Each structure stands twice: as C-alpha cells, then as structure tokens.
Amino acid sequence: MSVPCDRFILVRKKVKMSEQICVFCLNIVNDYVCHECGDYKGLMPLRDAKGYLGSDFPEEYLELV
C-alpha cells in the first residue's frame, strides 16, 4: 500500500509552473510560495493580476503580459 503523501508529490510534480505575481509585494514568482514575503495566497497569473491591480500594476511587468 502506498503512502498518500507519495501520491501527492507525484501529482504535484506534473503541474507546470508559470510566472505569477505576488499581489502583496509585487514580486515575480515561479514557485508555489513568494520568497520575498513568504505568502502563497496572493499569487496570481500576470494576466489576471493586471485586471485585479488596475493602475497599481507595475509598468515594468506590462511587457510580460
């Protein structure tokens, strides 16, 4: 019998990560957690974050959208 934890790790490795932005500290993240502020709830794809943040969206990230 396999351990449920092993199955979770295998499934998690199949997920392809894309660039996201942390809406709390505005850091670009390629992981499950923002390494700048340590949060995971504020991570969003750049495309979605542009609409969510509106005029607060950093101009230097516009070329990535």
Whether 30 contacts 59, CB under 8 Å = no
Q: Which two tokens stand for residue 7?
A: 């199955």
Question: What does DSSP assign to residue 16?
Answer: P
The closest of 19, 18, 17, 22 to 56, measured between CA atoms, is 22
Whether 16 contacts 39, CB under 8 Å = no
Residues 2-47: tens digit of each pLDDT: 555 555 554 544 445 688 999 999 999 999 999 999 999 999 999 9
Burial 12-36 (b: 16+ CB within 10 A, else e): eeeeeeeebbbbeebbebeeeebee
Predicted model pTM: 0.68
Instruction: Average the pLDDT over 51-57 and give the result.
Output: 93
